[in-house]
């Protein structure tokens, strides 16, 4: 099952009542994760393909120009949509922000009733994860032997990294690079953050996505299989400060 689009998520019962205010042309973009944030600089935590949920608290306190800049930053950061709950301080979408969404064809959704973001994320993530995660921890020795003897590198790589390789190019590259750095750094979050030049919170967020897509990452055999798959994958970027094995 492919990743859901923004349009697919709108069909879920949890998203009932959501209105599309702008960016209808972007509703067929795939969603890799759903994230909740009130930060106006939330784009720095994105890896691509996210649908962002917000009450608009900070938007209600900022200028129209800053609101439009916020939406542009989400689009530039790779987000695929923004959903606002318009029942708190922000009751209407600022015209400048709405105009920017329409200009960029960036999906802008609105709930005019109170919703539980936990319900939205739970429903969306269940749909995203319905794609399935292959069980690749068993028979690792025989798979490695088969690789050496038959050269079936592509089959092995796809079995290990299939959910990641199915992502759009931008989040795929970001998460493959993060996985490479995590394994090389033995999952030392502080070290990985320094290697990638990002904040620890960003590493934790990406690690959550990787676990959701790939399953258990704590088993040493699983890490070995992923390490081998990354070495075999032409799509995998080299993380700064690491060397190819």
Q: Is the pTM of this model over 0.85?
A: no
Sole residue written with tokens 């999952």:
187
What pLDDT does 138 receive?
Answer: 41
* Model pLDDT, residue 107: 98
Q: In 10 A of CB 207, how many CB atoms?
A: 18
The pLDDT score that the predictor gives to residue 244 is 36
Tokens standing for residue 137: 């921890």
The answer to whether 98 and 19 have CB atoms below 8 angstroms apart is no
The confidence score (pLDDT) of residue 141 equals 47
CA quadruple 139, 142, 147, 150: dihedral, nearest 10: -130
The upper half-sphere exposure of residue 227, i.e. CA atoms within 13 Å in the direction of its Cβ, equals 19
**Domain 6-129, classified CATH 1.10.3720.10, yes or no:** no
Look up residue 4 and give its DSSP letter. Answer: P
Per-residue pLDDT tens digits for 91-140 = 999 999 999 999 999 999 999 999 999 889 989 988 887 755 444 334 44
Domain boundaries, given as residue ranges, for the chain? 6-129, 140-232
In this prediction, residue 241 carries a pLDDT of 39
In terms of phi and psi (left: phi > 0; alpha: psi -120 to 50; beta: otherwise), the region of 36 is beta
- Inter-CA distances, 228 with 22, 139, 221, 232, Å: 44, 14, 11, 6
Sequence-ordered strand ranges (E) for 71-155: 81-85, 108-111
Positions of the chain with pLDDT lower than 70, given as ranges: 1, 131-149, 151, 233-245
């Amino acid at each position: 099952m492919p990743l859901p689009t923004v349009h697919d998520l709108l069909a879920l019962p949890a998203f009932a009542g959501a209105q599309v205010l702008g960016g209808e042309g972007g509703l067929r973009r795939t969603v890799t994760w759903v994230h909740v944030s009130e930060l106006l600089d939330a784009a720095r935590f994105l890896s691509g393909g996210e649908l962002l949920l917000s009450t608009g608290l900070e938007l209600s306190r900022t200028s129209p120009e800053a609101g439009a800049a916020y939406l542009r930053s989400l689009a530039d950061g790779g987000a695929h949509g923004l959903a606002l709950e318009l029942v708190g301080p922000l009751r209407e979408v600022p015209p400048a922000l709405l105009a920017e969404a329409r200009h960029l064809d960036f999906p802008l959704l609105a709930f005019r009733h109170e919703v539980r973001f936990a319900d939205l994320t739970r429903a969306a993530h269940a749909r995203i994860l319905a794609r399935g995660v292959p069980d690749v921890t068993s028979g690792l020795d025989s798979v490695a032997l088969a690789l050496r003897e038959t050269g079936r590198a592509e089959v092995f790589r796809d079995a290990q990294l299939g959910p990641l390789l199915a992502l759009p190019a931008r989040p795929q590259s970001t998460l493959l690079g993060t996985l490479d750095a995590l394994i090389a750094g033995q999952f030392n979050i502080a070290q990985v953050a320094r290697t990638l030049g990002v904040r620890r919170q960003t590493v934790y967020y990406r690690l959550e996505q990787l676990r959701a897509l790939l399953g258990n990452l704590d088993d040493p055999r699983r890490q070995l299989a992923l390490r081998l798959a990354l070495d075999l994958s032409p799509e995998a970027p080299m993380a700064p400060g690491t060397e190819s094995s």
